Structure 1
Amino acid sequence: MTENLSSCDECPEGRVRDASGRCVMPEVTFASFILSLNTSALYHMGELPHPETGQRIVDRELAKHTIDTLALLAYKTQGNLDPDENELLTRILYELKIRFVKLS
């Protein structure tokens, strides 16, 4: 489902304009998926505030689960990613593990 808005209106949160000016969801890529999981892990580690309340909540179990999901993706996609995707996943996984250890 897309939303047609005049060119002066902004798209609803999470949507972007396509070439024809319609508000659509952004393209799903491996990088955007990895970055989404990264954001989720950071949120669960209390590094990012809740968008509506501004509160920072720490849930180690959910943070660990998200990091474990990224580790599983790294293992299952080994040898099948392009160099940029591999670098992104490797760096994010490393950074999240370091942050998680500091949190603990």
Structure 2
Amino acid sequence: MEDDAEKKQYKKELFIKLLLMLRAGALSQLGIIENPVTKKKEVKLDLARETIDMLDLLAEKTSGNLTDAEDEMLKNLITELHLAYVKAENESKNE
């Protein structure tokens, strides 16, 4: 039984890591944090939009299968990125 509990915990941790990885990618694509490869802040709105769309799809496909904490984290992360995207998009129009 401990093996099942360990597997369940491992899967929870992997899911959180996946969300954080996608968040970091989107923040980099929005130019909020620097690209880990180029060490520069680069705005790539098309890639950011795609990453945010992936998170929206993930939320849709996992609806009803997440813990309350996982669901809240995913929703908060999506909201944060949508707001950051709108801000970056507006800033790019003003340049």
TM-score calculated relative to the size of structure 1: 0.70
CA RMSD, Structure 1 to Structure 2 (Å): 1.3
- Alignment counterpart, residue 38 of structure 1, candidates 4, 15, 23: 23
AA aligned opposite 1:68: D
Shift of 1:54: 2.6
Structure-2 separation of matches of 1:77 and 1:53: 34
What is the aligned partner in structure 2 of residue 73 from structure 1? Answer: 58
Shift of 1:50: 2.4
- Alignment counterpart, residue 88 of structure 1, candidates 46, 68, 73: 73
| Deviations, residues 21-71 of structure 1 (Å, cap 9, x unaligned) | xxxxxx661111001000000000001112354311110000000000000
Q: Percent identity?
A: 38
After TM superposition, the runs of 4+ consecutive aligned structure 1 residues lying more than 4 A away are none
Shift of 1:97: 0.1
AA aligned opposite 1:83: D
SS at match of 1:29: helix
Aligned pairs (5 A) from 1:3-82: 29-82=14-67
Structure 1 unmatched ranges of 5 or more = 1-26
TM-score calculated relative to the size of structure 2: 0.77
| Deviations, residues 62-90 of structure 1 (Å, cap 9, x unaligned) | 00000000000000000000111101100
Q: How many residues align?
A: 78
Q: Whose helix fraction is larger, Structure 1's or Structure 2's?
A: 2
